[in-house]
């Protein structure tokens, strides 16, 4: 077995932030190795795994621990203390079943219907606007979809504020490096939203409000763990938020999707004319564009990866962006090509923009199906239901900056309904 090569430096966090999504691939190329170790987040050692083989190891619960590995500041802002993302073992599997129990055919159809209906109902508003910033417009629209889908009560006048709070929290994964100007604002946003949701959990339990059975609010409020205990109301609010805050984050993919349609106009025509194209297009948006860069874990035992020994106790990351752009998995990975999903075998270890492995036993995203559904319906809406112009703006997607964005947010004007 060869000895792992290390990227020099006592703490490469700044370098990671500077090179962004390309840091891991650049470093593998620089060192000319398939796997390397680096120091980050206060100088802690991390071995960077990537590709299908890397993902298979990373999602092996016997080899890899996830609990305790997310940076504290990200837990405090993005996920919430004690969130499903932060626990392992029996407790995780028990609570994850609750999340997955929401993903029924009926609930998935409902989110599809809500997305379609709410975009259509929003047409007149967009027609009347001089400019529509799609990033901003979709975060508000998805806040309506998410709150209704989860069965929580949100007054129309509160939607804008909730959308803004969600946006602030979602953006807080820039807290990766520790120093982050918006940290305080993120924590305050989280406190406001947790208060609002905890109140609804308490009122549901008391029987003062009656969310429909099968909704997240109802199921979370009434759930008991494997020991027969209900969730503490604050903890319950935190994980209830985890059923729809990430749904609102799909606005980033929406802006990326319109960016892709703009750069590849033929795809708009295909979405209109080919029944399955919106699906392939949405998968390619998730693969191609930069969102989640990598995910952290820790080796429980020694194991081998591509001829190198990864020692027990070392930090690990799975290189999400590197895997979705791995040349050995994706032909011409830096080309946007939805057709590649005609022959994709559905492996749980290569298309991992929302994590990989198994939905029930690993930390793989509980909302992946919802994400694809919302993207399909939204892309169909923008391709078929309206026409618009794309004025001069900065459409850069900077891979050196985490989180990734279309710089302008993607602005459109002259929106007209297709009749």
DSSP structure string for 14-73: HHHHHHGGGHHHHHHHHHT-S-EEEEETTTEEEEEE-HHHHHHHHT-TTTEE-TT-S-HH
By CB under 6 A, the count of residues binding ligand HEM is: 24
Nearest to residue 276, comparing CAs of 333, 344, 335?
344
Q: Angle 186-209-226 (CA atoms, 0-180°, nearest 5)?
A: 75
| Minimal distance, residue 245 CB to ligand HEM, in Å | 8
Nearest to residue 313, comparing CAs of 49, 5, 8, 69?
69
Residue 243 binding ligand HEM, by CB under 6 A: yes
Residues pairing with 64 in the sheet: 299
Residue 169 binding ligand HEM, by CB under 6 A: no
Residue 365 binding ligand HEM, by CB under 6 A: yes
Residue 98 binding ligand HEM, by CB under 6 A: no
Q: Are the C-beta atoms of 19 and 176 separated by less than 8 Å?
A: no
CA dist 414 and 254 (Å) reads 19
Residue 200 binding ligand HEM, by CB under 6 A: no
Q: Are the C-beta atoms of 324 and 287 separated by less than 8 Å?
A: yes
Coil, strand or helix: which one is 197? helix
| Minimal distance, residue 251 CB to ligand HEM, in Å | 8
Which of 315, 355, 403, 404 forms a contact with ligand HEM (CB under 6 A)?
355
Which of 35, 64, 84, 126 forms a contact with ligand HEM (CB under 6 A)?
84
Q: What would the two tokens of residue 232 be?
A: 């503490």
| Minimal distance, residue 261 CB to ligand HEM, in Å | 18
Which of 39, 85, 136, 268 forms a contact with ligand HEM (CB under 6 A)?
85
CA 264 to chain centre: 24
- Binding segment toward ligand HEM, per CB under 6 A, in 8-16, 33-41, 201-209, 348-356: 348-356
| Minimal distance, residue 115 CB to ligand HEM, in Å | 11
Q: Among the residues of 289-329, which ranges form H helices?
A: 320-324
Which of 211, 322, 367, 409 forms a contact with ligand HEM (CB under 6 A)?
367
Which of 139, 175, 250, 258 forms a contact with ligand HEM (CB under 6 A)?
250
Which of 27, 235, 242, 283 forms a contact with ligand HEM (CB under 6 A)?
242
Contacts with 182 (C-beta within 8 Å, 6 or more apart), sequence order: 168, 171, 172, 174
* Smaller CB separation from ligand HEM, 254 or 412: 254
| Minimal distance, residue 81 CB to ligand HEM, in Å | 14
Which of 241, 363, 372, 383 forms a contact with ligand HEM (CB under 6 A)?
363
* Smaller CB separation from ligand HEM, 329 or 365: 365
Residues lying near ligand HEM in the complex (CB under 6 A): 84-85, 96, 99, 242-243, 246-247, 249-250, 253, 291-292, 295, 353-355, 363-367, 370-371
């Amino acid at each position: 077995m060869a000895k792992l090569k290390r990227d020099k430096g006592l703490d490469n966090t700044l370098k990671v932030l500077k090179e962004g999504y390309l840091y891991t691939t650049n470093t593998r190329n620089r060192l000319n190795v398939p796997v390397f170790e680096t120091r980050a987040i206060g100088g802690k050692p991390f071995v960077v795994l990537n590709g299908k083989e890397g993902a298979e190891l990373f999602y092996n619960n016997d080899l890899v621990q996830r609990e305790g590995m997310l940076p504290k500041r990200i837990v405090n802002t993005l996920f919430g203390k004690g969130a499903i993302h932060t626990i392992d073992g029996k407790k995780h599997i028990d609570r994850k079943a609750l999340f997955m129990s929401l993903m029924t055919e009926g609930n998935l159809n409902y989110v599809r219907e809500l997305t379609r209906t709410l975009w259509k109902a929003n047409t007149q508003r967009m027609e009347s606007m001089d400019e529509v910033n799609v990033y901003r417009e979709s975060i508000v629209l998805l806040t309506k979809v998410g709150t209704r889908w989860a069965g929580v009560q949100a007054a129309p006048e509160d939607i804008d504020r909730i959308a803004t709070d969600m946006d602030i929290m979602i953006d807080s994964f820039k807290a990766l490096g520790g120093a982050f100007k918006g940290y305080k604002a993120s924590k305050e946003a989280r406190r406001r939203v947790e208060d609002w949701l905890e109140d609804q959990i308490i009122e549901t339990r008391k029987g003062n409000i009656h969310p429909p059975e099968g909704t997240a609010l109802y199921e979370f409020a009434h759930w008991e763990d494997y020991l027969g205990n209900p969730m503490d109301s604050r903890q319950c609010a935190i994980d209830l938020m985890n059923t729809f805050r990430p749904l609102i984050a799909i606005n980033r993919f929406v802006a990326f999707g319109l960016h892709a349609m703009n750069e590849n106009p033929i795809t708009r025509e295909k979405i209109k004319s080919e029944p399955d194209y919106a699906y392939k297009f949405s998968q390619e948006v998730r693969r191609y564009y930069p969102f989640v860069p990598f995910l952290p874990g820790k080796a429980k035992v020694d194991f081998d990866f591509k001829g190198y020994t990864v020692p027990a106790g070392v930090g690990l990351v799975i290189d999400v962006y590197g895997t979705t752009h791995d040349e050995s998995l994706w032909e011409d990975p830096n080309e946007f090509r939805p057709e590649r999903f005609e022959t994709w075998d559905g492996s749980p270890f290569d298309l991992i923009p929302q994590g990989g492995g198994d939905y029930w036993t690993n930390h793989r995203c509980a909302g992946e199906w919802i994400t694809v559904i919302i993207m399909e319906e939204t892309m169909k809406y923008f391709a078929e239901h309206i026409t618009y112009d794309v004025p001069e703006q900065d459409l850069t997607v900077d891979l050196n900056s985490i989180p990734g964005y279309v710089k302008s947010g993607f602005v459109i004007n002259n929106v007209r309904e297709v009749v």
